[in-house]
Amino acid sequence: MNCMRVTRVLQSYLDGEVDEATARRVAVHLEDCRRCGLEATVYREVKKTLARREMPDARAVARLRDFGESLLTESDHSAKAGSDEVPKDPSTGA
Ligand SMILES: [Zn+2]
């Protein structure tokens, strides 16, 4: 199996979605090909991060949430679902 094929099936391989023979061939290749081995390591780290459900960038997530809430408050003033403690933004008001 060459690098191109390994790269193509690598994600499926890490997801356990390839058949046994393919998985074995990929594993063998990863053993002696540093480049693909490294790539597999990177994919694994990404998957681990996702599996842990840790937010990769808390600030980016907070901004997204603020954006979502601003959309909600703008389009739906009367029906505030859940909390009454929506902080008013002082910079836009006055
Ligand atoms: Zn390779």
50-66 tens-digit pLDDT: 777 765 577 777 887 88
Interval between CA 8 and ligand 1 midpoint (Å): 11
Helix-helix angle 20-32:34-52, to 10 degrees: 120
Interval between CA 9 and ligand 1 midpoint (Å): 12
Interval between CA 35 and ligand 1 midpoint (Å): 6
Tokens, residue 64: 């997204």
The Cα–Cα gap between 91 and 23 comes to 57
pTM for the full model? Answer: 0.52
Higher pLDDT: 22 or 1? It is 22
CA-CA-CA-CA dihedral for 54, 59, 62, 66, to nearest 10:
-160
Interval between CA 37 and ligand 1 midpoint (Å): 7
What is the fold of 1-76?
A: Arc Repressor Mutant, subunit A (1.10.10)
pLDDT in tens, 22-50: 999 999 999 999 999 999 998 888 888 87
Interval between CA 14 and ligand 1 midpoint (Å): 15
Residue type, 78: S
**Residue 74 confidence (pLDDT):** 67
The Cα–Cα gap between 34 and 88 comes to 54
